[in-house]
């Protein structure tokens, strides 16, 4: 991606200080989504990056990963698979727990999410922080018989070192650290 295009995307993301609690700088992607130029630059960049990966599916993490993943899947003419928070999928699921600052959370995927055996899957989400959710989602993809070939993020908070938790390559468009 050219530096000029990267700046358009960066400038389209709003930072909200002290949200949801003091000391946190929240990266608000809603301003990116409603900027047609920035959003199209982003999706076109990702489509160009992944067009030769021979992907079978894009999997998106609940909920912002759905926004980027579904658009990219449509652009690449492949299927999209949602990875949701526990209790949100209507059919038989496989689940994976991950640690939070205080306690645990859980994500799920349909047991038959990938119709192709050994499917090649790109996992996508908006932000990589500590990596717990992405690690759990990547494990789910493996549990149901597919291969997570890479995990893609729009923003990576490098100082939290979440990429170190992941056992697959990580691609982040914006790295802040």
86-132 pLDDT per residue, tens: 999 999 999 999 988 778 999 999 999 999 999 999 999 999 999 99
User: Is 121 inside a domain boundary?
Assistant: yes
User: Is 12 inside a domain boundary?
Assistant: no
CB 137 within 8 A of CB 83: yes
Find the mean pLDDT for residues 169-177: 96
Model pLDDT, residue 146? 98
Domain of 166 in residue numbering reads as 53-176
CB 114 within 8 A of CB 145: yes
CB 140 within 8 A of CB 119: no
SS3 139: helix
User: Is 127 inside a domain boundary?
Assistant: yes
- pTM, two decimals, is 0.96
Q: Please, which residues have CB within 8 angstroms of residue 39's CB and are 6 or more apart in sequence? A: 12, 32, 33
CATH number at residue 61: 3.40.50.2020
Peptide bond into 20 cis (omega under 30): yes
Backbone angles phi, psi at 99, to 5 degrees: -80, 140
pLDDT digits (tens, 9 = 90+) for 7-60: 999 999 999 999 999 999 999 999 999 999 999 999 999 999 999 999 999 999
Model pLDDT, residue 59? 98
Distances (CA, A) of 99 to 115, 131, 135, 138: 30, 10, 10, 15
User: Is 17 inside a domain boundary?
Assistant: no
Model pLDDT, residue 8? 98
pLDDT digits (tens, 9 = 90+) for 131-170: 999 999 999 999 999 999 999 999 999 999 999 999 999 9
Q: In whole numbers, what is the pLDDT of the chain averaged over residues?
A: 96
* Structural domain count of the chain: 1
Kindly tell me the sign of the dihedral angle through the C-alpha atoms of 37, 39, 42, 48.
negative
Nearest-5° angle of CA 116, CA 134, CA 103? 130
């Amino acid at each position: 991606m050219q530096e000029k295009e990267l700046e358009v995307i960066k400038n389209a993301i709003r930072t909200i200080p002290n949200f949801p609690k003091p000391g946190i700088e929240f990266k608000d992607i809603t301003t990116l989504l409603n900027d047609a130029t920035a959003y199209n630059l982003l999706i076109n960049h990702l489509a160009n990056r992944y067009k030769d990966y021979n992907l079978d599916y894009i999997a998106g993490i609940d909920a912002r990963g759905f926004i980027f993943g579904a658009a990219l899947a449509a652009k690449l003419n492949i299927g999209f698979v949602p990875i949701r928070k526990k209790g949100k999928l209507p059919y038989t699921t496989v689940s994976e727990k991950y640690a939070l600052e205080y306690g645990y959370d859980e994500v799920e995927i349909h047991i038959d999410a990938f119709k192709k055996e050994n499917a090649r899957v790109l996992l996508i989400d908006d932000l990589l922080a500590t990596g717990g959710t992405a690690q759990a989602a990547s494990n789910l993809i493996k549990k149901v018989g597919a291969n997570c070939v890479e995990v893609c993020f729009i923003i990576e908070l490098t100082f939290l070192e979440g990429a170190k938790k992941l056992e697959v390559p990580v691609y982040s468009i914006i790295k802040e650290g």
